[in-house]
Amino acid sequence: MPELPEVQTIVSELDKKIKGKKISKADVKIPKMTNLPVLEFEKKVKNKTVKSVWRRAKMIIIDLEGKGYLLIHLKMTGQLVFVPKAGRVVSGGHPIASTIDLPNKFSHFIFYFSDGSKLFFNDIRKFGWIRYADKELMEKETGKYGAEPLTDDFTFKYFNDVLNRYPRRNIKQILMDQSLIAGIGNIYADESCFNSQILPIRISNTLTEVERKKLFKAIPKILKLAIEKGGTTADTYIRTDGSKGSMFNYLNVYGQQGKICKTKKCQGTVNKIRLNGRGTYFCAGCQK
C-alpha cells in the first residue's frame, strides 16, 4: 500500500483540488466500507465545505466545516479520482483499468460538489474505507499512531527510547510498527536501513549509538527525497495528478534483487529475503 511519501503526495494535490468546495451529495454503494449507516453518513457530509486535506501516518483526512472529518485509507487497492466539471480527470492511489467511464462497478463512494465536480473512491478488493468522524473519534484514531518522522516530535531521544523499549525486535519490525513511527512501510524501511548501512535483520539492542544516530538521520532524509520525487510508482500506485512518481529511479535496494550494489566501493549484490512476512531487500556487502 502507499507509504508516507505517496500519501503525502496525494494529500498535497487533493488539497489543491477540493479545498473550499461544498459537498452537495454523497453516495455510498458498499455499507461495510464505512462506519455509519449509509443514510446517516450521507446526511453527515451533505452541504459540508472542505476546509483542508491532511495526513496522519498513511491515512488521508478531509477536514470538513463543523468539526467533521472524513478518514480515508486506501489499503491495498484503493484509488481516489477527482473529476472536474470541465477538464482532465485526475487520479491517485492504485490504478484501475479506466478512470474515464465513471462511476463503474468499483466506485464505492461518490462525493458530488456544488460546482459540478466529483470525487470517486474506487477499490477493486474493497479493503479500503472512508469513515465519518467527529473531533473525538478523529483524535482517537490519529492517536493510535506514533511520532511523525518529518516533524519535531521525531527526536533522537524518542527514537532511541523506542529501540530500548523493544530490545529483541529486528530493526525493520520497529520501523514498520505504525504505533511507534507513523507512515514508514516496506520500501522506505529497506531504503533507510541501506542508507545507514544497517542490516534490517539486526536486533535493536545490537545497534551502537553511532548506528542509531545514522538510522535516525536516514529516515527523514529518505522520506523527504521520496516526497520530492512524487513517491515510488509501482504497478499498483500512481499520483493524484495521473503522473508517475520518480522515486523508483532513486531506490538503492528495494526491488533491485540480483543487481550490483550502487555503492561504488562495494560491488556486492542486492539480496531479497522474507522478514516479518514481507519481501526485504539489502546489500550484505554494505550493510552490517
Structural domain boundaries enclosing 114: 4-142
Judgement on whether residues 169 and 253 belong to the same structural domain of the protein? yes
Q: Is the pTM of this model over 0.85?
A: yes
Domain boundary among 113, 142, 171: 142
- DSSP 8-state assignment for residue 137: H
The tens place of each residue's pLDDT in the chain, 288 residues long, gives 689 998 998 899 899 999 999 999 999 999 999 999 999 999 999 999 999 999 999 999 999 999 899 999 999 889 999 999 988 777 777 766 555 678 999 999 999 999 999 999 999 999 999 999 999 999 999 999 999 999 999 999 999 999 999 999 999 999 999 999 999 999 999 999 999 999 999 999 999 999 999 999 999 999 999 999 877 754 444 444 545 567 878 899 999 999 999 998 898 999 999 999 999 999 999 999
Residue 171 contacts residue 193 (beta carbons within 8 Å): yes
- DSSP 8-state assignment for residue 204: G
Q: Would residue 216 count as lying in a domain?
A: yes
Judgement on whether residues 126 and 37 belong to the same structural domain of the protein? yes
Distance CA 93, CA 7 (A): 8
Residue showing cell 468522524: 133
How far apart, in Å, do the first and last CA atoms of the chain sit?
Answer: 28
Judgement on whether residues 203 and 121 belong to the same structural domain of the protein? no
Among 216, 195, 222, CA closest to 204: 216
Judgement on whether residues 276 and 243 belong to the same structural domain of the protein? yes
**CA geometry: angle 252, 254, 260, nearest 5 deg:** 50
Distance CA 182, CA 4 (A): 8
Question: How many domains is the chain built from?
Answer: 2
Q: Would residue 68 count as lying in a domain?
A: yes
C-alpha grid cell for residue 67? 468539526
* DSSP state letters, 86-132: SS--EEEES--S-SSS-S-TTEEEEEEETTS-EEEEEESS---EEEE
Q: Would residue 13 count as lying in a domain?
A: yes
Judgement on whether residues 212 and 99 belong to the same structural domain of the protein? no
Distance CA 75, CA 59 (A): 9
C-alpha grid cell for residue 118? 466529483
Q: Which residues are catalytic?
A: 2-3, 58, 278
Domain boundary among 108, 142, 176: 142
* DSSP state letters, 158-202: HHHHHHHH-TTSBHHHHHT-TTTBSS--HHHHHHHHHHTT--TT-
Distance CA 203, CA 186 (A): 17
What's 128's domain CATH number?
A: 3.20.190.10
Domain boundary among 88, 109, 142: 142
